[in-house]
Amino acid sequence: QITDSETVRIFLNGCFDLMHVGHFNALRQAKRLFFQQGYKKVVLVAGIHSDDAIARHKGPPMMSDDERIAVLEATKWVDEFVTHLPYVSMSAQLADALRVKWICHGDDMPICEGGGGMYSDAVEKGRFQLLKRTEGISTTQIIQRLIRQQGLGSETEVDAMESALATTQRLGQFAAPADPEQDAKLLTSAKTVVYVPGIFDLVHPGHVSILRQAAKLGDYLLVGLYSDEMVRLHRGTPPVLTMLERAMAVLSTRWVDDVVLGVPWKITKELLATMNISMVIVGRPPDGLEPKQLQAEEDQMDLARSQGILKQLWSSFAVSSEALTL
């Protein structure tokens, strides 16, 4: 039984547009920091600004309110969330209203609407916790990468292209359960390993929907990620995010137990046997696939189909209404 004094509630807000490893890492770090301080339970309340507030302050976001909320809700470090936040001071009074002890943010302190530091009041009242911002990635940078992908960037720019760095330890931190007391699931103890291969570039509500449904079909969800080079070879354009950035993002969702990096484009016997895979999932967008895409997929999934272990899932986009209201 965890007592009140062993529990801490914390808050972290953002735009969470084109949700990327910088955002996921901020949420992960915030939660871990308080576990490291000795709390047994850390309740992370995430706040997300409204489309209108973002549009007025920084320009329109790439993803809508509902899309940004769906991805945030799928994040394993988030316990509760507040939506449609205005771009105003995240004050000690707000912290009280949300019953949180600490307000956290990366070390890139924003200014709120009408001027003034968004966290000045919380800092002054001793209710603010600074986190280290993740270098090499941002929403703006992702947009720049998209522009380059369209062939509009120069070679020198490509050489200097940054990305979020990953060590094997960092990957392990993303793969670990959000609660350090909980043991990670083991592939070897799983009865039904469900395998979802894909690119998973820029996690969106369609991915979230497929992963959520796939997890229900077994007791271990394994994602297979194609390498950047493999994607370029088969699709013509490389993914926007590197394979490691994509790995950290899918590991941040509530349902993924592990990721296989650089899987073969076509399902192989070795892959099915080594990973003890019982079911292979192909996700379908609500409006289906183009005939060319279907043909390519047929080839990729041939072995799983012939073994009768291929299953199609249709993505649906529904946002739950479980958010806290202020």
Contact residues toward ligand CTP (CB under 6 A) are 12, 14-17, 22-23, 25-26, 105-106, 108, 133-134, 137-140
Bridge-based pairing state of the strands 80-85 and 193-198 = unpaired
In whole angstroms, the minimum distance from the beta carbon of 125 to ligand CTP comes to 19
For residues 106 and 198, which CB has a smaller minimum distance to ligand CTP in the complex?
A: 106
Instruction: Kindly tell me which of 24 and 195 has the beta carbon lying closer to ligand CTP.
Output: 24
The nearer residue to ligand CTP, 49 or 207, going by C-beta atoms, is 49
Residue 280, SS3 per DSSP = strand
Terminal C-alpha separation, the chain? 29
Q: Work out the number of other CB atoms within 10 angstroms of the CB of residue 211.
A: 26
To the nearest whole angstrom, how small is the minimum distance from the Cβ of residue 128 to ligand CTP?
A: 11
To ligand CTP, the closest distance from the beta carbon of 31 in angstroms equals 13
Residues in the chain: 326
Q: How far is the CB of 90 from ligand CTP (least distance, A)?
A: 10
CB nearer ligand CTP, residue 146 or residue 279? 146
What contacts 35, CB < 8 A, 6 or more positions away?
42, 179, 180
Alpha-carbon distance of 11 to 82, in angstroms, equals 10
Rounded to whole angstroms, the Cα distance separating 146 from 153 reads 10
Give the residue from 276, 27, 240, 245 showing the smallest Cα distance to 140: 240
Q: Which residue is nearest to ligand CTP (CB)?
A: 106
Smaller CB separation from ligand CTP, 83 or 227? 83
Nearest-approach distance from CB 315 to ligand CTP, in angstroms: 24
Rounded to the nearest 10 degrees, what angle do helices 65-73 and 205-215 cross at?
30
